[in-house]
Amino acid sequence: MRKLIIFISIIALATGCTISYSFTGASIPPDAKTVFVADFRNVAPLVNPSLANELTEAMKDKFVGQTSLKLGDENADLYFEGSITAYGTQPVAIKTGDVAAQNRLTITVKVKFVNNKDKNANFDTSFSRYEDYDSQYNLTDVEDQLVKTIVESLVDDIFTKAVVNW
């Protein structure tokens, strides 16, 4: 009889509790079902014409692909909007003769995040990432791969700040 009472108690506890986990470490409120990513604006002095779209689509892909969230409208449970504020290259390693040995492409984005389920999670923050490349290459030769790598890192940073509570 005692074992039966313990078994029933365990079943009652197990059905009354919910455990949420994710391989990405995401901690999203259980009642959050939708995410909206507004089109990023490009306000940087130097503009890469495809960057805003690449960033917007990468954000959507990350949240839909690595969470149970579905794309929604402006009234979604999680809302992102942002702008590309800087896009540029500069020398980072000088070799003899004042010639750059390496250059660095840096992208900075400002992101506003609104969590309509947990207002304490809201933020309005800038994120910046860069990749170095050998100066023997023109930026146009390596730009697509650099942008892809930087966008991936930026999206990871934004995702982590928004939904990973470590």
End-to-end CA distance of the chain: 44
Domain 2-163 part of CATH 3.30.160.150: yes
DSSP string, 14-45: HHH------TT-----TT--EEEEPPPEE--S
pLDDT at 28: 82
8 A C-beta contact, residue 51 and residue 8 = no
Amino acid at 150: I
pLDDT at 22: 43
pLDDT at 19: 39
Q: Structure tokens of 91?
A: 């020398």
pLDDT by position in tens, the chain (length 166): 666 566 666 665 555 444 333 444 567 888 899 999 999 999 999 999 999 999 999 999 999 999 999 999 999 999 999 999 999 999 887 777 667 789 999 999 999 999 999 999 999 999 999 999 998 899 999 999 999 999 999 999 999 999 986 5
8 A C-beta contact, residue 86 and residue 110 = no
pLDDT at 20: 39
- Confidence (pTM): 0.81
The beta strand positions in the chain, using DSSP E, are 34-37, 41-42, 70-71, 78-95, 99-115, 123-134
pLDDT at 21: 38
- Nearest Cα to 131, choosing from 113, 114, 145, 111? 145
pLDDT at 8: 64
Domain boundaries, the chain: 2-163
8 A C-beta contact, residue 24 and residue 160 = no
